[in-house]
Every structure is written in structure tokens, then in C-alpha cells.
Amino acid sequence: MDSKLARARQVLAVAESRLGIVSANRQADFSDAYSVPSFWEAVLPHGLLRRGVLSVEGSFSGGIALAGCASQAGAWVISIGRDGDDPSFLLDSGIDLERFAYVDAREDVSARVVSVATSGFGVVMLGDMPLSDRERSVLLSQALAHDCLIIAPHWKRASAGVQCRLLGVSGISGGEGHISHVNYEMSSRYGSARMSFTRTGWEGAATQAQLRLVEVA
């Protein structure tokens, strides 16, 4: 019965994709979600969606960190329309650059390019592209049908959403020293957590509670 239900949902997603609609009652499916580190659990207690759209508000660093979680589980990741992402930041965030592709921000990058990517990649990271509501609806349906997660900024009617707020940096005192931690607060409908990006990747805030924080206005 479960396999028949899953097949029926897949057929529905394909039909919606062709029509460019998304059912109003479609809910996020966490049944086979990607695992996340323990310091993300307050924000994503059910794990990271494997399909659909994750909207990121604020700093996109949170989206890259979550793409790294999927990459560590074996997903292929593509970045479309995003300029300025440092390869070392991607790598330290957990993205395997041997399973990574990149399409820079050009005027001819369109919804069609994103559509093709959803059928070949497990995660599609998007820049702030000028997509119409209908294009967003079609891409959401295609992501659901193709077991792809689109991570994008400011996406209306996304499957799920997170907010990433830059708090400041640690390691500098009196204008001297070196930045050792970039500190963030991540939040969602479920809860929030503080975490940091360090020289060795992402970690929970508890491990750096004694470091001096220089706030970012």
C-alpha cells in the first residue's frame, strides 16, 4: 500500500509539473530527509528535505551549510546564478567539489536552465533570479517529481524555510587578532540555534561560548 501511495504521489507531481500548478495541500515530506548535525536539530528537527524548495532569508551562508549536509550524504550539487561563492567556503561547508557544478550569473540563465538541473542534481542552489510566480510553481513541482531540493532566497510558497542572521565575528579584541569564528543565528518555524563557521567548518555555538563577539551592525 505504501509503495502504491508513493507512486500515486509521484504521478501527481509529474502532472502538476506539466500543468504548472502545485496542490494547496502539498506538505513537506521528511520521510527520507537528509541528516543534519546535532546543532541544527532545533531548527530542523526532522532533518533536511530531500525534495521541494527550501527558502533562505537573510544570509545565504545557511543555505550553503545545508547543501553541504546533502553533499555529505552523496548528493550532487549545482549552483546557478550565484557569483562570489568562495570554493574554499563551499568545501569547508561540506560540499564535495568533485560532485559540484557551477553556472555563473548571466543574463541568459533562465527557469529552463533550472528545470534541466532539477532532473540531474540532488540539490540546486539558486541566486536571486527574476522568476515569475508560474515559473516558481513549475520548478517546485519538478523538484518534487525529480527528488531534487532547490535552495533559494526569498521563495514564496516554498516547501520549508530557514532564516540565517549574521551576528558577528569572534577572535578580535581591541582591534587586534584574527577572525576565528563567523557567528550566525539560524531559525525556522520549529526553533532557533546559534552556530559558527570556523577554519574547520561549521560547529555549534556551545563550543565557542567563551570567545569574544564583535557584533555586525
Is there a contact between 116 and 103 (Cβ–Cβ < 8 Å)?
no
Residue ranges and CATH numbers for the domains of the chain are 29-162 (3.40.50.300), 163-215 (no CATH)
- How distant, in Å, are the alpha carbons of 50, 53, 73, 96, 147 from that of 32? 7, 15, 12, 21, 11
Whole-number Å distance between alpha carbons of 39 and 19: 40
Residue 177 pLDDT: 56
Residue 106 pLDDT: 75
0.85 exceeded by pTM: no
Tally of residues, the chain: 217
Phi, psi of 121 (to 5 degrees): -125, 150
Write out the three cell numbers for 85: 561563492
Whole-number Å distance between alpha carbons of 72 and 95: 7
> Which H or E element spans position 142?
helix 133-145
Whole-number Å distance between alpha carbons of 66 and 93: 8
> Which H or E element spans position 4?
helix 2-19
Whole-number Å distance between alpha carbons of 133 and 111: 11
DSSP bridge partners of 142: none
Residue 171 pLDDT: 66
Residue 18 pLDDT: 53
Is there a contact between 53 and 139 (Cβ–Cβ < 8 Å)?
yes
Return per-residue pLDDT of the chain as tens, 217 residues.
456 655 665 665 555 555 544 443 455 677 889 999 999 999 999 999 999 999 999 999 999 999 999 999 999 999 999 887 899 999 999 999 999 999 987 767 889 999 999 999 999 999 988 899 999 999 999 999 999 999 999 998 899 999 999 998 776 555 555 667 899 999 999 999 999 999 889 999 754 444 444 444 4
